Chain A
Amino acid sequence: MSFKREGDDRSQLNILKKRRVADLLSNFIPEDEATLLSNGRYTCLVCSFRPVFDTVDMLTVHRKGKRHLEGLKFFYGKKAQLKHEITKRKQEQFVQAEDERQDGSSSAPLLAQTRYLTHHALLRTVPYNSCHRRNSTKTEKRSASSALEPGGTTCSRTPLEHLGPPKRGAESCEGLSSSRGCISGEESHPSKPKGELPPAAIPEPEPMTAQRRRELEHYLKLKSDGWRQDLSGQWVKDQNVEFDSDEEEPPSLVNVP
């Protein structure tokens, strides 16, 4: 059954070697350039039109194509720009911090840290990525926790977020416990300009009270019972779900034992 190569043609051997190495390396596609879909296919994150491929091989072929390479320029260009922006702001922040230190008014390292985190949080909203990312859990934890605010009071979300992909399983216990442990920057409002926040007034993350836990649980219960929130935050019945005939309104939290 062994397959033996005949002859000792050097160049042929080298071509084969190269091909083999290429084959082996073809799977090393940077994680942020492609993603696996639920149906087992792949999509290229570089190209704006998000082509879908059946196999890694086809993706590899695509990655050698002209359009992709063009896209790559744009993709990395954008990335570099972003990086540049980050460094710029960091620098600004550093300079400001230096100034303040010279003022002597605040030498609290905690404040600096908080400020740094606010910056960070600010920046993270800038690059919007329509694709699901396997490793990043922060975005939807934040979105889940903001969505968890009862009564549809969250109007600060951009419409874009509403149209975004369905949130991943930010579910009951896991979601709750981890959101408790998340860093403070996530809890603070991202859209508020930084200047408005007096450093001392930055609230600590709201501790998970029993009340809040109940609210969250109630929210999930409504969701899993087939209630949906429309754009205005009103609870409406899902058309595909059955309800008792006398069930017109979702049970409010007060009535829930």
Chain B
Amino acid sequence: MFLYNITLQRATGITHAIHGNFSGTKMQEIVVSRGKILELLRPDANTGKVHTLLTVEVFGVVRSLMAFRLTGGTKDYIVVGSDSGRIVILEYHPSKNMFEKIHQETFGKSGCRRIVPGQFLAVDPKGRAVMIGAIEKQKLVYILNRDAAARLTISSPLEAHKANTLVYHVVGVDVGFENPMFACLEMDYEEADNDPTGEAAANTQQTLTFYELDLGLNHVVRKYSEALEEHGNFLITVPGGSDGPSGVLICSENYITYKNFGDQPDIRCPIPRRRNDLDDPERGMIFVCSATHKTKSMFFFLAQTEQGDIFKVTLETDEEMVTEIRLKYFDTIPVATAMCVLKTGFLFVASEFGNHYLYQIAHLGDDDDEPEFSSAMPLEEGDTFFFQPRPLKNLVLVDEQENLSPIMSCQIADLANEDTPQLYVACGRGPKSTLRVLRHGLEVSEMAVSELPGNPNAVWTVRRHIEDEFDAYIIVSFVNATLVLSIGETVEEVTDSGFLGTTPTLSCSLLGEDALVQVYPDGIRHIRADKRVNEWKTPGKKTIVRCAVNQRQVVIALTGGELVYFEMDPSGQLNEYTERKEMSADVVCMSLANVPPGEQRSRFLAVGLVDNTVRIISLDPSDCLQPLSMQALPAQPESLCIVEMGGVEKQDEIGEKGTIGFLYLNIGLQNGVLLRTVLDPITGDLSDTRTRYLGSRPVKLFRVKMQGQDAVLAMSSRSWLSYSYQSRFHLTPLSYETLEYASGFASEQCPEGIVAISTNTLRILALEKLGAVFNQVAFPLQYTPRKFVIHPETSHLILIETDHNAYTEATKAQRKQQMAEEMVEAAGEDERELAAEMAAAFLNENLPEAIFGSPKAGAGQWASLVRLINPIQGLTLDQVQLEQNEAAFSVAVCRFHNAGDDWYVLVGVARDMILNPRSVGGGFIYTYRLAGGEKLEFVHKTPVEDVPLAIAPFQGRALVGVGKLLRIYDMGKKKLLRKCENKHVPNLVTGIHTIGQRVIVSDVQESLFWVRYRRNENQLIIFADDTCPRWVTTACLLDYDTMASADKFGNITIVRLPPNTSDDVDEDPTGNKALWDRGLLNGASQKADVIVNYHVGETILSLQKTTLIPGGSESLVYTTLSGGIGILVPFTSHEDHDFFQHLEMHMRSEFPPMGGRDHLSFRSYYFPVKNVIDGDLCEQFNSMEPHKQKSVAEELDRTPPEVSKKLEDIRTRYAF
């Protein structure tokens, strides 16, 4: 078996985010890392939308990311610390839209190791040096400079190692133009290590150490080290030099401290806490994330606590000495991994879990009456300030980026009966959790819908002048009339536009600079800017049947197949060409390309005829109306569209911006098939045809603009958008109802939209999430979803949600009540009334937990519920709250042989579980009857000794993994009855799959076990197992002998039992189970063979074998914790496999990954990669430079278009 890996949706969680001027212009961009992916985002200051410019897989783990700018430079570079044992500096090239690796320096072994640098990066704020540090011991400093040609240079590394030292955080200190300095949170464990009494370990203090890079001596010295009172978790650089007092802020538990050299005393301020918080008051509070904003005149920091509250931190200075730290509550947003404050006043928040946000900073929190907390306020040691959290006041949400991470569970099924299966994804964490339904398709936002007086046939938009940014008119054609609407603040009908309203329209367009043209059955109407009208009438009884129009040319087809060609001359006059052309058959459709910038005309006309052919006709003056090429079609054409796509932005010598792409002829057929053919710009030859079935209705094609580029809207029974995005062609259906006719639309409110008609309505639509494969519908959940099952009869989902460190609703209410009572009691006699009022207000206060977070109850506190949900409408039909400290971990829906036709839901629950060191106070299996599929009726609960982590139906009974025991339970009257047991699974049963008499059990750390149930002896016997230890997270049956499994390190493995495996192994015949006679390491005698190994690089939590598109082949779909969705698909022929194997091999050598990690070694991180070809790498072929593409393609005996066609084919065969 050979498999091919395709990523359907890349990871969406963000691990790092930095901002800077990466393209070298004034615009600020954001670079984010998503584990193994680097992405460049650009927030559009006008629309407030975040656009993705570039996404690159680096095939390595990005561990740290920094923006770096040389002194006096205007462009930021990206410094990447990864698991490659190398430091990599990348530059973004906006013209080619790609990252270029400009430096790659090797310093250690690859892998995430303790002493190999890569975990921490710090840059000198003045842009002279970079420090890269390991978790322990090693730190290297590279001096960066520029050479005579202003290119970035990098020095040899300077060592700043210190053995036996752990590092917590490193930042560059802003010291102006003195020697670069780095501050480091460290802990020296040497003493503690050598002291057997453990006393030293208890007393070891964290230190703040400054390392100075002496540029004169070219040497790094440990300048100064100071023990800290509190244990710090991260550092913030304070601007220095001419901008501020320099130094660092140390964020530690409950305090934020300012430190600097010289006479500066430490300034320390407690971190304020929420008033009347349900959290454990003994719990410390820490800052987890910060962002710095600096202008010429001022600077401030935004620091976020682990509850999500943001504080604005400012420093009061007196002659370069800091006298006071001031904290002011700013706003509360979801807890972030990184925040970026942009110069345009936006705050980009990369959330830890759930969607990412772009906020506008509306106020700086200066001018209101909320209290400001200061280090100068007298407070007792251990006392702190309190504040009241409130909804957003200073920030305004402007954009949201959908993020699935973490995907806890996923099932793919067509529960909504839509032909194409949907992905039901349980994702998120805590109160921000959601159940999302993913459907293949582009999300469409409906901007306006208005009814029209009849059923229109067609719609167009025209601008008034070629320089205009926005459209002026919408022209709607009916059977016997034409309606002209003007676009302004509102859309209203106009009559003075010059268009003829009493006839249907065939086409209309802007002609030349400022004239308009209307083609109608009886003639052509040319409307000049000064409203003069020229008319051309059809000769005799002929009418115009088809036409094609662009900025300078008009071609019409008269009845009988006669073509008449008009071209605009320099005076703006529309002139008929001297000859006409008689076609051999009736014309069905025509298309003209746009006039290329700087040229007089488009050279090609495409004509579709009734005889199932498409002909390309030259419009060049030298051979005007001469046929150039012809293509036969499998069915009659319906619509044609010539577009230029796939180009990159280029600037020519004059400075004119434009895109250079390929010309494509799109052909929509009457049988619902879309053909895309490359049109040679010189000869007009047609080549490289790609075919795709779109739907049951004839395909109509419309040219629209998407992100400044041409795209094609194809309409069949479903509408599709064909566009080029990040150098790849996408053909994505729109998640919207059937449309009939469309045109591009641009107005102030909607700069890039579509105007379309559907029955008797006119709709203005916008497609914003280009590049997205799925559109999502999200339903909120209360706790972290763990697992869910589908009830086969009603298609409802039974979902278990469990949170650690959380209170149940009941406990929360009880604690609140208790606190309110305490408040009243604590008050003095005279304040009683006031206190009672406050208590009542406190009880009534209800901050949404999805934003403000839920109270942290402490370790060992669990909250859990079982939910019955209709996944189509998102309605919760029933919900069972479990008691405090009961944690649901497994769920199954099954029928029992001895209990009739009722469906039962079994929920495995652990009681009083403590995660570390692991202990559990027992468990239960709750049994509920699914009454009518709408209600969970409690039947009984069965106590068990350990955590039931897995439940599966099996032959009318239930298999349950209780800790390390595998048991069969049958339905009893008062509880479930244990019927059979196997004790030989080594650690913890985490999953159970069954097929026939076979049971496949996954162990938490020892991979899979094949178990046979023998009815006659009522025994479960392990007859085979795997040879490698795997920390299995999820598994999936592929066939009777084959299992796919994924582990927590991000590997996918497929194992298969050899064909001669016997299910009927016996227990020992001698009967004497002496110590010396147990199996080798207690393993089974038969072993499964590994047939596939592959490292995905993200923890995989669900695997499923399914078909994703109707009529497609089966594939193995996986979802990852980081929010990625991918598939592994089998090759159908040996030739294909051979081809991709070679392509992968060439790509490895020709296009090495950006992060510096070797591709082969990354894919073989834990087990050598076996029988899987990496489609992500192969698809980078399309983003390679053309000459490299050519050389790789030549090695494969093909042309570059053929290679990309193969890449596209294998993708569309299985997915989208």
Contact = CB atoms under 8 A, between A and B. Distances in A.
Interface of A: 36-41, 43, 50, 52, 54, 130-132, 134, 144, 165-172, 220, 223-226, 238, 240-246
A31 B984 CA distance: 29
B1015 A224 contact: yes
B1027 to A, nearest CB: 12
B353 interface: no
Contacts of A134: 1062
A56 to B, nearest CB: 13
B242 interface: no
Interface of B: 970, 972-974, 977-981, 997, 1012, 1014-1018, 1021, 1023, 1062-1070, 1077-1080, 1083-1086
Contacts of B1012: 169
B1071 to A, nearest CB: 9
B1069 A43 contact: yes
B995 to A, nearest CB: 15
B900 to A, nearest CB: 11
B1016 A223 contact: yes
B1080 A40 contact: yes
Contacts of B973: 244-246
14 contacts: A37-B1069, A37-B1085, A38-B1065, A39-B1078, A39-B1079, A144-B1016, A166-B1017, A168-B1066, A169-B1064, A220-B1016, A238-B1018, A241-B977, A244-B972, A244-B974
Given A224-B979, A241-B980, A242-B978, A170 B1016 contact: yes
B978 to A, nearest CB: 5
A39 B1087 CA distance: 11
A2 B978 CA distance: 59
Contact of A241 (B979, B1016, B1062): B979
Given A169-B997, A244-B972, 7 more contacts: A38-B1068, A40-B1086, A52-B1070, A132-B1066, A171-B1016, A243-B977, A245-B974
A37 B1016 contact: no
Nearest to A51: B1070
Contacts of B1064: 168-169
B1016 A167 contact: yes
Contacts of B1014: 169, 171
A39 B1085 contact: yes
B1069 A225 contact: no
Given A132-B1066, A169-B1064, A172-B1015, A244 B977 contact: yes
Contact of A36 (B1021, B1078, B1085): B1085
Contacts of A244: 972-974, 977
A246 B973 CA distance: 9
A225 B1068 contact: no
A165 B1066 contact: yes
Contacts of A223: 1015-1018
A105 to B, nearest CB: 45
**Which 7 A-B residue pairs are closest in the complex by CB-CB distance?**
A40-B1085, A39-B1079, A38-B1065, A242-B977, A224-B1015, A242-B978, A132-B1066
A166 B1064 CA distance: 11
Contact of B1079 (A40, A170, A246): A40
B1078 A171 contact: no
Given A37-B1069, A244-B973, A244-B977, A171 B1079 contact: no
Contact of A40 (B1015, B1070, B1083): B1083
B28 to A, nearest CB: 56
Query: Chain B interface mostly helix, strand, loop or mixed?
Result: loop
A223 B1086 CA distance: 27
Contacts, number: 104
Contacts of B977: 241-244
Contact of A225 (B979, B981, B1067): B979
B997 A171 contact: yes
Nearest to A220: B1015
A164 to B, nearest CB: 10
Contact of B981 (A38, A240, A246): A240
A243 B974 CA distance: 10
B231 to A, nearest CB: 52
Nearest to A137: B1064
A38 B1015 contact: no
A54 B1080 CA distance: 8
A225 to B, nearest CB: 6
Contacts of B997: 169, 171
A246 B977 CA distance: 13
A182 to B, nearest CB: 17
A33 to B, nearest CB: 15
A169 B1015 CA distance: 8
Nearest to B1086: A40
A167 B970 CA distance: 24
A38 B1023 contact: yes
B984 to A, nearest CB: 11
Contact of A37 (B1015, B1018, B1021, B1068): B1068
A244 B899 CA distance: 13
Contacts of A169: 997, 1012, 1014-1016, 1063-1064
Contacts of A220: 1015-1016
A244 B970 CA distance: 10
A132 B1068 CA distance: 9
Contacts of A39: 1068, 1077-1080, 1084-1085
A172 B1013 CA distance: 12
A113 to B, nearest CB: 32
B1077 A52 contact: yes
B1067 A38 contact: yes
A226 B1017 CA distance: 9
Contacts of A52: 1070, 1077
Contacts of B979: 224-226, 241-242
Contacts of B1068: 37-39
A165 B970 CA distance: 28
A214 to B, nearest CB: 15
A54 B1079 CA distance: 8
A111 to B, nearest CB: 36
A240 B974 CA distance: 18
A39 to B, nearest CB: 3
B1077 to A, nearest CB: 6
B1077 A242 contact: no
A242 B967 CA distance: 12
B1018 A166 contact: no
Given A38-B1066, A134-B1062, A242 B972 contact: yes
Contacts of B974: 244-245
Most chain B CB within 10 A, of A170, A171, A246, is at: A171
Nearest to A166: B1017
Given A50-B1070, A52-B1070, A169-B1064, A41 B1079 contact: yes
A167 B1067 CA distance: 11
A41 B1078 CA distance: 9
Contacts of B1078: 39
Contact of B1021 (A38, A131, A170): A38
B972 A132 contact: no
A166 B1023 CA distance: 16
B544 to A, nearest CB: 74
Nearest to B1087: A40
Nearest to B997: A171
A231 B1083 CA distance: 34
Most chain B CB within 10 A, of A38, A43, A226, A246, is at: A38
A169 B1083 CA distance: 21
A172 B1065 CA distance: 18
A220 B972 CA distance: 19
A226 B981 CA distance: 11
A132 B1015 contact: no
Contact of B1085 (A38, A144, A240, A242): A38
A144 B1014 CA distance: 13
Contacts of B1069: 37, 43, 50, 130-132, 165
Given A37-B1066, A246-B973, A226 B1079 contact: no
A136 to B, nearest CB: 12
